[in-house]
Chain A
Amino acid sequence: MNVVRLLNKFSKKFLWIIGLIVGVTFLLNYIRSLVPLLIGQVFSILENKESNLPDYLLFFFNNKEGISAIITVAVSILCVCLVREIVNVFSDFIIGYAGESIGYVIQNGFYEHVQDLPYSYLNRVETGDLIQRSTNDINRVKQFYGEVLPEMINNILKIIIYSTQIFMIVKDDLAIGFAIMGFIPIIIVLALVFFKGMVKYFDAFETNEGKVSTVVQENLTGIRVVKAFANEELEIRKERSIMNRFGIAWKNMMNRLTGYWPTGDFLGYTMLLVAFTMGALSIKNNILTLSTVVSLIFYVEYLMWPTRMLGRELSNLGRTNIAAKRILEICEMPSEYDICNGDLKEPIKGGIEFKNVGFKFDDANFPLLKNVSFKIEPGQTVSIIGKTGCGKSTLVSLINRLVEPTEGKILIDGIESTRFEKKYLRSKIGLVLQEPFLFTKTIADNIGIAQGSKDLDVIKDVSDIASVRNDIERFEEGYDTLVGERGVTLSGGQKQRISIARAIVDEKPILIFDDSLSAVDTETDIHIRNALKSRKLKSTTILITHRISTAKDSDLIIVLEDGKISNIGKHDQLIKQPGLYKEIWDIQSSIEREGE
């Protein structure tokens, strides 16, 4: 069972808590089962017949009869029920605590684990699928541990305890016990079969409900198109036809459900009638007493509901199991910090050397990078230029160990990069990704996110360097402006510059811009690079770019073609040699000349 495996994975202590829940629920239901006996006791007092009470309760009735015995019954009911209520509060608390804690642990574990998954996996995976798992599947599992499982335990114990009590009191006429017990499997199996069969109707209902909301949603998001083509009438017809289909699915489902509910009631009442009829006959034959039949009738009433629910819960187990499996699939993938993480935390100056580095994705047939070698001194600026898909982004993500080389070595300040602790290494390298992602926080919090401190002066300073300060200060709420769905919509350029500010908020020995400067215009690009140069710490800077104006001032230019370095050197050298760099230079300089 995946549901058990999932629980085991996150914490073994929960198995104990579930044991405790079983124990407390047992106790609770035993106490509950005393009430019908006490009610029966009233009748055995009035009729002067034998009592069904257990000995420890019967003790209180020694030598009492008439009104004083009745008072004892009333007081006993109050006391037993008070205990029952106290135990119930206690058991609800444990169940709530266990449910919430299990949900909490699974949710947090899932969240943390996703963060720790390898970069290459996160690059490949469909975010939609992960989000689906994180919301629907986790909620289903949480609901299972918090509500469904305790309810199932409760219902099973109720059935066991009440049935046992029934057999104890009708021990002189066991036929009654068997007749009533016969209903229980029938009702459970009926519910089980019914709800299993309902799956396809529930699914049809959900699919069609989804279709209705898709149609409405598509209409509302595309309302401009609808209006521009004057197709309002068509849209209405479309909605009607899908609504009619939903109506059919609705009716199919409801017709069955409305047939089932009364059947459950019917079986319950029939069970009651059987108890009464057989009880009356048994009293006539002087086997059972009125007191016993009264208790019996109450037990039967108590049994009606749990029996019906149990079948329904059992039929839902399959879906929960699938949800648990989908969560486990993610959580059982190894974390990248468990695979050959280094432990070195030496200060880094910024020297980088690639020695015959090759890289191939697990599922690829050909290597993406082949035999790449170069050396960068601390403080140098290096540009990488090359066509889309030539391996530029992979090359830079090798430096901070987001991916690991399959061949060769990478040295940071002469030390093999795999010896560094991954998080430490990354904290010393500012990498600005091509696609900026901002968090649902204020702008100030987004910029200061990696640093922890929220020194506004620092934030203003780096916003200045990233050329986004004016933009931010033009917002009504300035640095406190909320970013994201509920906040302002930023332009692509603004997002990119904020993500640059975020990467440079504390001075880092190595900075890498993965084509992120080219999203801003040429002048801003120059401004940002100059501002970075004037900082106290001269960081080693790697720029992936397509602009010669950016590349030409670099200490080293690496031209990458098909995963290999096709040319390397300074601007003045490269423009003298035929090749990609020269081609680009020719085009770009000609345009600039045309303008002059």
Chain B
Amino acid sequence: MNEEYDDIDLKSKLDAKLWKRILKYLLPYKKYLFLGIAGVLMQAFLETKIIEFISQQGIEKYIESGFNGTTFSLFVAGLFGLIVLDAIVSRCFFWACSRLEWFLYSDMTNEVYDHLQGLSYSFFDKYSVGWLMARTTSDTSKVGELISWGFSDLIWCICKLIFIFITMLKYSVKLSLVMAIAVPTLVIISYFFRKIIVKYFWRVRKLGSQVTSSLNEGISGAKTSKVLVIEDKNSKEFDQLTTKYKNVSLRRVIFTTLYYQSIAFLSACGIAAMCYFGGVSVIKGTIEVSVLFLFISYSTNFFEPVLGVARTTNDMKHAQVSASRICNLLDVKTEIPDSKEVIEKYGTYVNPKKENWEELKGNVRFENVSFKYTTGSGRYILENFNLNVEEGKTIAIVGETGAGKSTIVNLLCRFYEPTSGTIYIDGKDYKERSVNWLHSNLGYVMQTPHLFSGTIKENIRYGNMNATDEEIIAAAKAANADDFINKLENGYNTEVGEGGNRLSQGQKQLISFARAIVANPRIIVLDEATSSIDTKTEALIQKAISNILKGRTSFVIAHRLSTIVNADTILVIQQGKITEEGTHKELMKLKGYYYKLYTNQFIDEKMSEMGIK
């Protein structure tokens, strides 16, 4: 997964355009923005004041120049009031920030998610789910967090520095200037160490994820390791990795502590300088004892905001990287857009104009269709492909992995469009109708069935959101799924678990059949599973398949003999071309590829039936 930031990314300059775009997300929430900024300003101000009152005014008025009971009580009560006010103000500020974080995160996630729904299938072929997940969830939450909290942190630090400095100037210009010397020194130290520490931070992260994946592999491959007697070798390799991790982490610890300790020592220098210069000034009578105390107090409070500025600017860099990854994703355009005229007539997927949709009959014609991926080697996967399929016929496609079988159905489904040539549906180029129109009339059953979390009923209804419960049960019956569903404790209301993992592979397949049947499509595309399933389920599946194909134009990437033999036409695809075409009988006579495939497959299926394979 491409989750790591590279060092290169972080070196990037400030991107003003990007920030403008990100800050636009905050615009609808002016109320919270105002409350947050006002709150953080007030907080920095109150904190500075509380210290000033206790250290300077309190000592000056009530300890140095004699004690006055009544005003002292008032003074203490006033201070307590400030403390309460500070708590209230921080509460408002925290609250506003947490809301802003949520708005940023959820708005961005929703927008990215919606955008992804509109992208064409080829996009999802190029990027892994992990890669997309990182952008849809982690990057958005990072931007939300870093911008709301990091930004307010930055404001707090800067304001506090300013307030403290203004207060100091009021009491002693000389001591203020002495203190101010610390700032550039701090910035230099900070800059020097941060660079090293950030470098180690990413190295540790990277090694850490390597350790995790190596650990996982050791677990998944434990049986194989035992058989190959490579346990010791594995452990040694793992040890090398963890030793490296340990050493790099330790180096990071050393640099980090050196950094913090030099800052701490600089702060100690500040305190010592205040004691010396302040002490001397008190002896000379230029300042009061209380002022000295105030400066010493501030000198311990002065360094945190300076460090905070260094930290938050770094955070902002991270936010920028995440934000740019999100924006790049939002800028991707769909590769298969409907033309303006098509949209006008057929509508979009969010707002379809179903009243203008023609009925689909199911005549399909490929005319000189060639296809290659826009990226990659540039080799044609499919070349000058011609095929005419009449309404209601079944086409079985056989051939080796990578021969181009799935390309044919991907083109038919308009997941991809031909590089050249035309695909006609009911005699009309399918580009002249909307993608949504085609998909609404299409049923697609994948090789590995994909179910969604939810109940069985919800999963079947996925094929047709308007289906009644009766229609769902009828579809399940046609898919031979009704029996096993009724045997489950909660019947149709059984939860299938994440990705359907509470059901067996065979059960998932039957449900995905029912889902396709309930959609009642005119064209059906079926990618048969290769993995063998127990004999009983296998018989159910075979019957279900013949039910699905009945009366529909069907394209089957076939592995089962029963499906292949019953097809109207069998296509043997080798290296992007049809090498054999005809019915089962015709092809057997050829004694070519199909003949060999058939005999092998026949033995395998017979043996599975006997329970030997």
Chain A interface residues (CB < 8 Å from chain B):
35, 38-39, 42-43, 45-47, 66-67, 70-71, 73-75, 77-78, 81-82, 84-86, 88-89, 92-93, 95-97, 100-101, 103-104, 107-108, 110-112, 114-117, 119, 122-123, 127, 130-131, 134-135, 138, 212-236, 239-240, 243, 246-247, 250-251, 254-255, 257-259, 261-263, 265-266, 269-270, 272-273, 276-277, 280, 283-284, 290, 293-294, 297-298, 301, 385-388, 400, 402, 423, 426-427, 431, 433, 437, 439-440, 449-450, 452, 491, 499, 502-503, 515, 518, 521-522, 546-547, 583-584, 587-588, 591-592, 594-595
Contact = CB atoms under 8 A, between A and B. Distances in A.
Contact of A114 (B219, B254, B265, B611): B219
B218 interface: yes
A101 B264 CA distance: 27
Contacts of B519: 229
Contacts of B399: none
Contact of B607 (A107, A228, A546): A546
B442 interface: yes
Contacts of B110: 239-240, 243
A70 B83 contact: no
B79 A273 contact: yes
Given A74-B272, A224-B121, A439-B217, A46 B607 contact: no
B67 A221 contact: no
A39 B253 contact: no
Contacts of A427: 229
Nearest to A97: B250
B173 interface: no
Most central of A42, A47, A297, A388 by chain B CB within 10 Å: A42
Contact of B243 (A104, A269, A293): A104
A290 B612 contact: no
B223 A81 contact: no
Interface in B97-111: 98-99, 102, 106, 109-110
Contacts of B217: 439-440
Contacts of A273: 54, 76, 79-80, 83
A236 B219 contact: no
B264 A218 contact: no
A135 B217 CA distance: 12
Contacts of B133: 213, 216-217, 220
The main secondary structure of chain A at its interface with chain B is helix
A197 to B, nearest CB: 18
Given A122-B223, A265-B87, A276-B79, 12 more contacts: A88-B261, A115-B222, A130-B219, A222-B450, A230-B440, A232-B350, A233-B350, A251-B99, A261-B94, A290-B63, A290-B289, A547-B603
A431 B612 CA distance: 20
A81 B264 contact: yes
B234 interface: yes
Given A84-B264, A225-B446, A266 B83 contact: yes
16 contacts: A38-B275, A46-B279, A46-B289, A46-B292, A67-B280, A73-B276, A89-B258, A97-B250, A111-B235, A114-B218, A122-B223, A269-B86, A272-B54, A273-B83, A499-B224, A594-B599
A117 B83 CA distance: 60
A33 to B, nearest CB: 14
B59 interface: yes
A219 B151 CA distance: 33
Interface string B50-70: 100011001100110001000
Contacts of B446: 224-225
Contacts of B239: 108
A113 B254 CA distance: 31
A228 B261 contact: no
Most central of A215, A231, A234 by chain B CB within 10 Å: A231
B553 to A, nearest CB: 15
Given A131-B219, A547-B603, A92 B268 contact: no
A230 B118 CA distance: 11
The main secondary structure of chain B at its interface with chain A is helix
Interface in B248-293: 249-250, 253-254, 256-258, 260-262, 264-265, 268-269, 271-273, 275-276, 278-280, 282-283, 289, 292-293
Given A228-B444, A265-B90, A521 B600 contact: yes
B612 A227 contact: no
B324 interface: no
B230 to A, nearest CB: 6
A35 B229 CA distance: 61
Contacts of A225: 444, 446, 450, 462
A591 B602 contact: yes
A546 B253 contact: no
Interface stretch (B11-19, B192-200, B208-216, B579-587): B208-216
B293 A74 contact: no
Contacts of A213: 133, 137
Interface residues of B, number: 133
B463 interface: yes
B126 interface: no
Contact of A119 (B90, B98, B223, B606): B223
A423 B222 contact: no
B499 A111 contact: no
Contacts of A491: 401
Nearest to B451: A222
B265 A402 contact: no
A502 B221 CA distance: 14
B257 to A, nearest CB: 4
B610 A387 contact: yes
B607 A584 contact: yes
A213 B515 CA distance: 24
Contacts of B498: 214, 218
Contact of B453 (A212, A218, A426): A218
Given A387-B611, A450-B229, A263 B118 contact: no
B415 interface: yes
A298 B296 CA distance: 10
A241 B26 CA distance: 22
Contact of A449 (B76, B230, B249, B453): B230
A213 B238 CA distance: 31
Contact of A228 (B413, B452, B599): B413
A135 B221 contact: no
A212 B137 contact: yes
B428 interface: no
Given A254-B98, A518-B613, A402 B272 contact: no
A293 B290 CA distance: 12
A243 B231 CA distance: 45
Nearest to A101: B246
A587 B606 contact: yes
Contacts of A131: 215-216, 219-220
Contacts of A449: 228, 230, 233
Contacts of B349: 230, 232-233
Nearest to B269: A78
Nearest to A450: B228
Contact of B227 (A217, A250, A433): A433
Contacts of A116: 231
B102 A266 contact: no
Contacts of A81: 264-265, 268, 271-272
B91 to A, nearest CB: 5
Contacts of A400: 227
Contacts of B91: 258-259, 262
B102 A251 contact: yes
A584 B231 contact: no
Contacts of B79: 273, 276
Q: Nearest 9 CB-CB pairs, A to B?
A: A96-B253, A81-B268, A228-B444, A258-B94, A92-B257, A70-B279, A254-B98, A230-B439, A266-B87
B228 A402 contact: no
B88 interface: yes
A107 B600 contact: no
Nearest to A133: B219
Contact of A216 (B94, B113, B499): B113
